[in-house]
Amino acid sequence: MDMGSAAVLGIIQALTEFLPVSSSGHLVLGQLLLGVDAGAGGVAFEVAVHFGTLLSVLLLFRAEVGRLIAAGLRALRAPGQVTTRWAADGDLRLLGAIAIGCLPAGIIGVAFKDQLEAAFGDVGLVGIALMVTGVVLLLSRYAPQGDGEVTLRRGLIIGLAQAVAILPGVSRSGSTIATGMFLGVDHEATARFSFLMSLPVVFGATLLKARDLVAAPPPSETLAALGVGAAVSFVVGLGALWLVMAVVRRGWFSHFGWYCLTAGAAVVALIWA
């Protein structure tokens, strides 16, 4: 993969990671159009650019992340007081919801690692998954403007949606935010939860792939491309993250469903033509 392709794919990742249009699906399509190998190296690059957007989430949500870390440290210092603090400590409850919400993706990602990597080479699957994402997004317009918080039960259900979104073409932000909306969570709160919940999952996936890269190091030029992609996705991701929060606040979230339906149908039509 050359530097130009790495930069283009990094931009694609950043623009599509937070908008509900499936970054993994667009990376598969982008690799196809650019003639980039979508095998094991493509998966390593996909993880690298996800790591870049992870850094952008850390930067823009640094205040929330700081409060969650503080809540976790308080719980570790006095584990016997967690039950009594639970009702009064909103940050502790949010941390618990994030922890339980990450379990499904973590379990599925480890148990079906090889099958999931193989799915990134199936362009037809990407097209179908994009259309499914489009339907989910369009249905989200009927979700009420709730005012509830993300409880443990809601966090687990949203986490199941995140696990499904490991498949390329299924939008992680789209599926998790839409699920939160249907569960009656405040729309902006569920968007924030979605992005905060992505941090441990993406970090875990990065560590998992880093282990493989250490065992079989790629050529130096490939490492350079991974770095370029991660850097570009970080910078562009800062703007994309701000944009999607504005979209959720204005109630335009479901409109992306039309794009996903159109893109998915186009992919399927080209494959089956």
Model confidence over 5-38: pLDDT tens digits?
778 877 877 888 788 887 767 767 776 776 665 4
Question: Cα separation of 241 and 98, whole Å?
Answer: 19
Whether residue 46 has pLDDT greater than 50: yes
Three-class DSSP category at 148: strand
Predicted local distance difference test score (pLDDT) of residue 38: 46
**Are the C-beta atoms of 173 and 211 separated by less than 8 Å?**
no
Nearest C-alpha neighbor of 13 from the set 4, 32, 26, 31 = 26
Predicted local distance difference test score (pLDDT) of residue 40: 47
| Percent of the chain whose predicted confidence (pLDDT) is above 90 | 38
Predicted local distance difference test score (pLDDT) of residue 167: 86
Q: pLDDT tens across 141-181, in order?
A: 998 878 888 999 999 999 999 999 888 889 889 999 999 99
Predicted local distance difference test score (pLDDT) of residue 176: 95
Assigned token pair, 26: 């667009």
Question: Cα separation of 126 and 58, whole Å?
Answer: 28
